[in-house]
A and B are shown apart, each in its own frame.
Chain A
Amino acid sequence: MNNRVMSDASIMNTSAWQDLAPLLSVRDVNKYYAPGKGCGPVNFDLYPGEVMGIVGESGSGKSTLLSCLSARQTPDSGQIIYNSEQFGEMDLYAGDESERRVLMRSEWGIVHQHARDGLRMNVSAGANIGERLMAVGQRHYGDIRAKAEEWLEAVEIDANRIDDRPSQFSGGMQQRLQIARNLVTHPRLIFMDEPTGGLDVSVQARLLDLLRNLVSQLGLSVIIVTHDLAVARLLAHRLMVMRRGEVVESGLTDQVLDDPQHPYTQLLVSSILQN
């Protein structure tokens, strides 16, 4: 991993943990399309360097929640306060859309389940990575290309594939490219929606390992939606279990998975095949 790209040990490791203000504060967020379809009320604080997993089966409202949190879906009610580097403390949906969009291409990253939702399939890998740099005003081709190469290597893609289009990449490579495209502007908060969904198991392992390293080396805060408890255990510090739109249990990841309290969590945990 390249030192110029990566910072030192994660924030979780420093003793400054207690002085930090929450990065994201979620208060009574509700979003329902129909009774039982949607999510809420949801409350939590996410601190710098924390990785929070949202687990639950399909239709439990976890993706809806992620859309609300990442400024892509206005909730029916409730507040999401984000502590921005550029704008200070901001109430996401009370503020200007332009600010939300600036966040999306600078301080935030979004990794979609389907790479084609997060990549421009008709331009090269280099341009995909460079786009965010150009979006924040960089205009030096050589620098942009050098950064793109660095990040390709950081996500374990051969730098000489820089001029290939994502459509020529395998599913796992596309997903890694999507991650590089997001990380190039050094975001503080990443939203991930089933990042390993639809990948072969062997490819999944590689991606998870990469994510785990990047998250701890860059001190990223992450909210990751997944229905795969093994993914949650590997990546998340804490978990939120959702069912029919509601949060039924939350806490330290290994505590929720090893000592589940709610009937639904117990069912979820006991449904995993042991190996």
Chain B
Amino acid sequence: MSTATGYNFAYLDEQSKRMIRRAILKAVAIPGYQVPFGGREMPLPHGWGTGGMQVTASVIGEADRLKVIDQGADDTTNAVSIRRFFATTAGVETTESTAAASLIQTRHRIPETPLQADQILIYQVPIPEPLRFIEPRETETRKMHALSEYGAMQVKLYEDVARFGHIATSYDYPVMVNNRYMMDPSPIPKFDNPKMNRMPALQLFGAGFEKRIYAVPPYTEVKSLDFDDYPFEVQRWDENCAICGSDHSFLDEVIIDDAGSKMFVCSDTDYCRSRQTNATESATATEETLS
């Protein structure tokens, strides 16, 4: 089915994939632990999702159906090129529907539609080390992970409350995985953090620049850090989605003219679209029943 010639299935050679799969297996076995791997060069620069792509390339099979999103949208440049990349090098079917996909590579969002047990969510990760903010030495952060010395991470939240009166960190919000390892969930909004907890789908994280892979196996406990008197909270909007009317999804603020008028729309384009379709269908159904 592959349309490109001269390339191995899904671009990476089988030896590299095997090496990456071993790293993935280790990551799944130790939830939240950052496994180093021999990162390969991909035909696009670091920072454009090369970590996620290498993980995708290593787990994708001919029968898979791939969805790629960037900030929740299927139609942004990055999402379109990665989807096309795998369509070309692996010849797999692609989709924009969350429910129809078996593999979802994502940058900065978790889809609104709850994921299922037979799906895999692959995150693109720019900085895998949650402790870097407080401790720049890698030797020291590794030791901190090994010994579960996570008090320093709380310092970041303390600073937030001290400065803003609440925990102002709104994305890249650190979590504890399986009560053992502290993990950087990649720059997803903290709105998405609760979705990670006990998610039926397998979650894999790939950091291409820093050559680290980590994972959250299905149904694993993922807890966002907080204070007893400043509990973890997700963002809320006063508005509903201007397109589908959703009052519970993550909204993007969109400027619509030079006068600064704005509207709020779902960041998850597929979710928004499927809600519109359902609305139309049920309206049609109602009409049919009435007639």
Q: Do chains A and B touch in the complex (CB under 8 A)?
A: yes
**Chain A residues in contact with chain B, CB under 8 A?**
97-98, 101, 105, 120, 123-124, 126-127, 130-137, 139-142, 144-145, 162-163
- Once A142-B229, A145-B162 are accepted as A-B contacts, the answer to whether A127 and B151 lie under 8 Å apart by CB is no
Asked if A105 and B151 sit within 8 Å, CB to CB, the answer is yes
Q: Is B44 on the interface with A (CB-CB < 8 A)?
A: no
Cα A95 to Cα B46 in complex, Å, equals: 43
Asked if A135 and B162 sit within 8 Å, CB to CB, the answer is no
Q: Mark B130-172, 1 if CB is under 8 A from A, else 0.
A: 0000100000000100010101101100110111000000000
Asked if B147 and A98 sit within 8 Å, CB to CB, the answer is yes
28 cross-chain CB contacts under 8 A: A97-B143, A97-B147, A101-B143, A101-B147, A101-B149, A105-B151, A123-B134, A123-B155, A123-B158, A124-B163, A127-B159, A130-B158, A132-B151, A134-B151, A134-B152, A134-B155, A134-B158, A135-B152, A137-B151, A139-B226, A139-B228, A140-B228, A140-B229, A141-B228, A141-B230, A144-B158, A162-B162, A163-B163
User: Within 8 Å CB of A98, what residues of B?
Assistant: 147
User: Within 8 Å CB of B163, what residues of A?
Assistant: 124, 163
Interface size class of B (residues with CB under 8 A): 10 to 19
Contacts beyond the supplied A131-B151, A134-B158, A137-B151: 7 A-B pairs with Cβ under 8 Å: A120-B155, A131-B155, A140-B228, A141-B158, A141-B161, A141-B230, A163-B162
B144: shortest Cβ distance to chain A, in Å? 9
Q: Which of B134, B149, B154, B161 contacts A120 (CB 8 A)?
A: B134
5 tightest A-B contacts by CB?
A135-B151, A134-B154, A141-B227, A134-B151, A140-B228
Cα A139 to Cα B226 in complex, Å, equals: 8
Cα A124 to Cα B159 in complex, Å, equals: 7
Asked if A127 and B158 sit within 8 Å, CB to CB, the answer is yes
Which of B149, B155, B158, B227 counts the most chain A CB atoms within 10 A? Answer: B158
User: SS class of chain B's interface: helix, strand, loop or mixed?
Assistant: helix
Asked if A126 and B162 sit within 8 Å, CB to CB, the answer is yes
Chain B: which residue is nearest A162 at the CB level? Answer: B162
Asked if B158 and A139 sit within 8 Å, CB to CB, the answer is no
Which of B149, B162, B230 counts the most chain A CB atoms within 10 A? Answer: B162
A128: shortest Cβ distance to chain B, in Å? 8
Chain A: which residue is nearest B157 at the CB level? Answer: A141
Asked if A126 and B158 sit within 8 Å, CB to CB, the answer is yes
- Once A141-B230, A142-B229 are accepted as A-B contacts, the answer to whether A135 and B159 lie under 8 Å apart by CB is no
- Once A101-B147, A120-B134 are accepted as A-B contacts, the answer to whether A139 and B154 lie under 8 Å apart by CB is yes
Cα A126 to Cα B162 in complex, Å, equals: 8
Cα A87 to Cα B77 in complex, Å, equals: 57
User: Within 8 Å CB of B155, what residues of A?
Assistant: 120, 123, 127, 130-131, 134
User: Within 8 Å CB of B161, what residues of A?
Assistant: 141
Asked if B162 and A127 sit within 8 Å, CB to CB, the answer is yes
User: Within 8 Å CB of A163, what residues of B?
Assistant: 162-163
User: Within 8 Å CB of B228, what residues of A?
Assistant: 139-141
Chain A: which residue is nearest B135 at the CB level? Answer: A120
Cα A171 to Cα B23 in complex, Å, equals: 48
Cα A127 to Cα B4 in complex, Å, equals: 55
User: Within 8 Å CB of A145, what residues of B?
Assistant: 162
A59: shortest Cβ distance to chain B, in Å? 28
Chain A: which residue is nearest B152 at the CB level? Answer: A131
User: Within 8 Å CB of B162, what residues of A?
Assistant: 124, 126-127, 145, 162-163
User: Within 8 Å CB of B229, what residues of A?
Assistant: 140-142
User: Within 8 Å CB of B134, what residues of A?
Assistant: 120, 123
